[in-house]
Structure 1
Amino acid sequence: MKFSKKVALTLAAALAIPAAAFAQDLTVGATVYGPNGGEVGTIESVAGGNAVVNTGTNTAALPGASFTAGEKGLTIGFTKEQLDAAIEAANQQAADALNAALVAGAALRSQDGVELGTVSAVEGDNVTVELESGPATFTRDQFATDANGLIVRLTADQIAQSLAAAGVETQTSAE
């Protein structure tokens, strides 16, 4: 009798917890709902265990573990308004961090962590970087920040290949 009560309580507890969505449920075009049953958006892409959700206003990559199987389909813990507000706050925080970091004299690394040089000038959307091979100009949207500071959204090899294609010899491309 005690065993049956424990099993019943365990099953009741398990049923009360929303079931996590399986990876195969995260498909492009699937509608995503919020905790109140309202539509949040649709999945635009799925890669690496993350699903990119488009709310119609914003897009964000959400980990697969964020999704549960709800009554209407895939469900997350945000309403559309809450997700849009969270995305906009995160975007503003990233923009503020980039504005603070993207200044003359700032050290610059590639997205794969290779030290590249320093920022020598920021003029509008153009950023001049002093590389070992000489100055190179990038557009502002090619930069971001991480826990270690300013990065360019390219690998060191991609930069070397671009410079080599432009006829600039670099340490990486000269080898």
Structure 2
Amino acid sequence: MAQWLDYRVRVTISDARMLVGTFMAFDKYMNVVLADCEEFRKIKSKGRKDEEKEVKRTLGFVVLRGETIVSLMAEAPPPSGPKKADITPGPGRGQVAGRGMPAAPLSSAPAGLAGPVRGVGGPAQIQMQPKTAALQAPGGMPPGFPSRPPGMPGMVPPPGMPGMPPGMPPLGMPRY
């Protein structure tokens, strides 16, 4: 069905009418959308039994339910659009014309968005720099305090100093 999109098609429906239009869309139920649609139906004349007259009616944009469709056949391929004339490339290259305004420098923020004026509201720049871990004493001591000396096995640490984690025997002690 997808191969017939944009073709001019003739759809015959269950009551013997024929719809001719541009095939725009379809779905899994075979519902069909036709654009610029015209309806053709045959009418028997009252005076003569053997004479039939075909009546044409313009419908426009039509959504046709799939259960009423008996047949669908292509009448004409899609219209080809106007072809662009081949333009021979000339000397030079295409370039945008300058407007006489220099580009704004990217290094500075716009006025009012750069932050507070120096000395007003906020810490100094040096205080905003990250601290390195090398400045801290080992063992979780606060900066400025010397690191504690390693303890002797079996000795209790002085008050205020953390000892071994619980569950670990001192070095050199047997584990049982």
Q: Give the structure-2-normalised TM-score.
A: 0.21
